[in-house]
Amino acid sequence: MKNRSVLFALIALTSPISGSAADWPNWRGPNQDGSTQASQLPAEFSKEQNVRWSAVVPGSSASCPVVSGGRVFLTAPVAEEEKLVGLCYDAKTGKELWRATIAHGLRWDDKSNMANPSPTCDGERVVFLFSNAKMATFDYDGKLLWERDFTESHGAFATQWTYGSSPLLDGGKLYLQVLQRNEVFDFQGFTKGTAGKDTSSYILAVDPATGKDLWKVVRPTEAVSESQEAFSSPVVTTHDGKRVLLITGGDCITGHDAETGLELWRWGTWNEERIPHWRLVPSAVAGDGIVLACAPKKNPVYAFKLGGSGTAEVAWVSDAKEVSSDVSTPLFYDGRFYVLDSDRKALACVEPKSGEVIWRGELPSRAKLEASPTAADGKIYCVNFWGEVFVVKAGGDEFQLLHTADMGDGSKPGGNDASVRATIAIADDCLFIRTQDKLYCVGQK
């Protein structure tokens, strides 16, 4: 097993993206931009049409399925037992292969539960993280490799609403982003942070083979109160042959050397007035030499040129009435950015270099959308709180809605932890759609 681990570590160090091209190894997919090269995806489907299988999921959460090596991995709460589990399904049949109880607890507020973060995998191991700072890593057969409680070494996550950043395996490292309040405080009857521990925001790199820290970089911010917090996740992109780690939150965006964590550049702020409640949710997305960061609360999207040092160069700033996202992370696909406006229920297609809005269309959604859009095979997939999936044609000169499918359970949640907020994963030429109570595999038969 030791030699096998060394072999995989060497492969990871020499390859930017681990795993098969058909995999969806983290919540933003193999390219970390929401897209993949999958083909033959259905434009039309329903609960009965083009469903290869469906599986009952023990509880709803915002975490999305990840797919690797013929396995689908998922986190979920088991409400009646107040426990948090990692799940593994057969990607071909939907059969549950194993589940592991990793932590106990359920929720700290009515907006979400502790199974918020999505898993991440690298072809050999899968990592599950929960909002109470408990992490566990397994091989694909369900054997526990190591587990950690980050409260012991770094303190509990000090975010007002339940922590939701997903870990990331990339280049032989496991990244964890904790952008948090710089104090211990109480919220809705629960204490956030750990007395006696440093509550500075930080980025942590962990050895995925052993679970030991490789480095920890404190990420300073001039933001105040809740605006220090972010529910975004780390994203890695390649620029000029180097892997760059992109972090958004705390009223700014920063780029880091993915090998060492050294901050290369930053830009801030979209919050000139230091408004104290501007927590950030969307992660960064990079494409065509440009990286996007979304200011919260119906404010603009900011585009920056990758590279350089010190202060990042702004490429363009959107008109917030046309292009904005408070929750959903934008998509980069086939040379264009796509920004989903959660509140206005609209999707905008944007040219990367100039910021020109090529088209903008309103989705016929009866509920809010907070899951992030994904794309492949010339199609973009979005899902709302109720489990309605909207299929939009990618590219072109105008917005074109191809199909709407109601995949939900018939309930109409509105922003609580039963709402459908899991991003749709695309792997093995199939869609993996998590609704309130089920996981669907949709593909042409």
pLDDT of amino acid 20: 54
pLDDT of amino acid 21: 55
Q: What is the DSSP string of 79-107?
A: GGGTEEEEEEEETTT--EEEEEEEEE---
pTM of the model as a whole: 0.94
pLDDT of amino acid 14: 34
pLDDT of amino acid 357: 98
Total tally of structural domains belonging to the chain: 1
Rounded Cα distance, 138 and 129, in Å: 12
β partners of residue 429: none
Tokens 């001039």 -> residue: 222
The sign one gets for the Cα dihedral 78, 134, 118, 325 is positive
The model's pLDDT over 385-437, given as tens digits with 9 standing for 90+, comes to 999 999 999 999 999 999 999 999 999 999 899 999 999 999 999 999 999 99
Mean pLDDT of the chain, nearest integer = 94
Lowest mean pLDDT among 8-17, 49-58, 154-163, 180-189: 8-17
Which of the 8 DSSP states describes residue 1? -
The CATH number covering residue 295 comes to 2.130.10.10
The model's pLDDT over 351-385, given as tens digits with 9 standing for 90+, comes to 999 999 999 999 999 999 999 999 999 999 999 99
Q: Which helix (H) or strand (E) element contains residue 373?
A: none
Secondary structure of residue 14 in the 3-state scheme: helix
Domain range enclosing 106: 2-442
Q: Report the pLDDT averaged over residues 34-61.
A: 96
The model's pLDDT over 206-256, given as tens digits with 9 standing for 90+, comes to 999 999 999 999 999 999 999 999 999 999 999 999 999 999 999 999 999
pLDDT of amino acid 17: 39
Q: How far is CA 49 from CA 54, 286, 407, 441, in A?
A: 12, 35, 11, 11
Q: Angle CA(285)–CA(289)–CA(291) in degrees, nearest 5? A: 30
Residue 317 near residue 305 (C-beta atoms within 8 A)? no
Rounded Cα distance, 43 and 53, in Å: 17
Rounded Cα distance, 358 and 295, in Å: 21
Q: Which helix (H) or strand (E) element contains residue 2?
A: helix 2-14
